[in-house]
Amino acid sequence: MPTERDAMALTLGIVGGGQLARMMIAPAVELGIDVRVLSEEPGMSAALAEAATGDYRDLETVRAFARGVDVVTFDHEHVPQEVLRALVADGVAVHPGPDALQFAQDKLRMRARLAELGAPQPEWAEVTDAAQLQAFLDANGGRAVVKTPRGGYDGKGVRVVSHPDEVADWFGDGPLLAEELVDFARELAQQVARRPSGDIVAYPVVETVQRGGVCAEVIAPAPHPAARLAEVAAQIGTAIAEGLGVTGMLAVELFETTDERLLVNELAMRPHNSGHWGQDGAVTGQFEQHVRAVLDLPLGDPSPRQPWTVMVNILGGPESDSLESRFPAALAAHPQVKVHTYGKAPRPGRKVGHVNATGDDLDAVVYDARAAAAFFAD
């Protein structure tokens, strides 16, 4: 006779074998969910749940993988639209779906749709040649941020320019996105989770610290918020999730301007580096929340467990030995800090792990997180 556990048994398929997939495995298993991962190659971060390897751009590869799961979700946003739409046509539950993911995959489409939704964002334009970019520069103070619409992340595909010649090598491959160079006081991120049935929860807005175009630290919640900032950030995130039909986790990267406005920078429709703090600092972290959301299970409480949580990325790792060799000293010196590594070999600039520290004294929490992360660098 079927038991209650049998009725709950679900299989989640994750396309992409990176660290985000890796960190979904444990919370899914704790909920009695079977996890299967389609990795790009053997031995990636999520190898523990690797069920297949292959090219996520190949429809038949993804189709074969999807046959054995109840829901398909993603470690990244690069699966082509034609593959996603073919899965939906086959009757596969895909979350987030292609109608939403198109706006995370193409920054020009994102800007146009956010404008339709009335979301606050920088001045922007689609430019296809040097003359159009020069006109945008002339209208926006002589400097601009130019982005390739597709494929960029962690600072890749982004240049700050004052002359069209600085992106001459990008012209001819399709339109580019030009944005005003925002005078911002700091960068923030707002995460929300949304179920296919429509339920939605918002996390506290956090401050992100970028170095070299890569997220280095996150402080949760964002300290010293201006009046109503947290409320407005949550409203922006919720409106975008509902307006785009996002299912699963959504991260909205924001600029807080020097005159205390919020402007949308970019979107991510998956767990996001700005949400790693919640693994140890929230009642329900983003990885468990994403699993719940895409399977249309009741959402968890996103509230912080402590007044402050600080996440510090481990970038690069040690050059002289392994990450694992650094654990004993780091754990002994900072027993209150949680260390998360990604099963990746050290390499300059590579995200190979992160640490989370929590507590009620922000200065002490920042110190603990930075000091613990420093054990994993040379």
User: 229 and 190 in contact (C-beta within 8 Å)?
Assistant: no
The pLDDT of residue 5 is: 42
The pLDDT of residue 2 is: 46
Those residues with Cβ within 8 angstroms of residue 190's Cβ, 6 or more apart along the chain or in another chain: 202, 203, 205, 206, 233, 234, 236, 237, 251, 252, 254
Q: Which of 127, 130, 103, 229 is nearest to 180 (CA)?
A: 127
pTM: 0.94
The pLDDT of residue 153 is: 62
pLDDT by position in tens, the chain (length 378): 444 444 557 999 999 999 999 999 999 999 999 999 999 999 999 999 999 999 999 999 999 999 999 999 999 999 999 999 999 999 999 999 999 999 999 999 999 999 999 999 999 999 999 999 999 999 999 999 999 998 766 567 899 999 999 999 999 889 999 999 999 999 999 999 999 999 999 999 999 999 988 999 999 999 987 779 999 999 999 999 999 999 999 999 999 999 999 999 999 999 999 999 999 999 999 999 999 999 999 999 999 999 999 999 999 999 888 999 999 999 999 999 999 999 999 999 899 999 999 999 999 999 999 999 999 998
Fold classification of 4-94 is Rossmann fold (3.40.50)
Q: Which of 219, 228, 348, 226 is nearest to 277 (CA)?
A: 219
The pLDDT of residue 155 is: 60
First CA to last CA distance, the chain: 58
The pLDDT of residue 227 is: 77
User: Where are the domains positioned within the chain?
Assistant: 4-94, 123-180, 184-374
**Dihedral through CA 310, CA 183, CA 257, CA 309, nearest 10?**
0
Looking at the DSSP assignment, which residues form a beta bridge with residue 250?
192
Six token digits for residue 244 = 């785009």
DSSP codes of every residue in 308-345: EEEEEEEES--SSS-SGGGHHHHHHH-TTSEEEE-S--
Instruction: Please state which CATH number belongs to domain 123-180.
Output: 3.30.1490.20
User: 371 and 333 in contact (C-beta within 8 Å)?
Assistant: yes
Instruction: Please state which CATH number belongs to domain 184-374.
Output: 3.30.470.20
By the 10 Å C-beta count (0-12 exposed, 13-18 middle, 19+ buried), 378 is classed as exposed
User: 248 and 294 in contact (C-beta within 8 Å)?
Assistant: yes
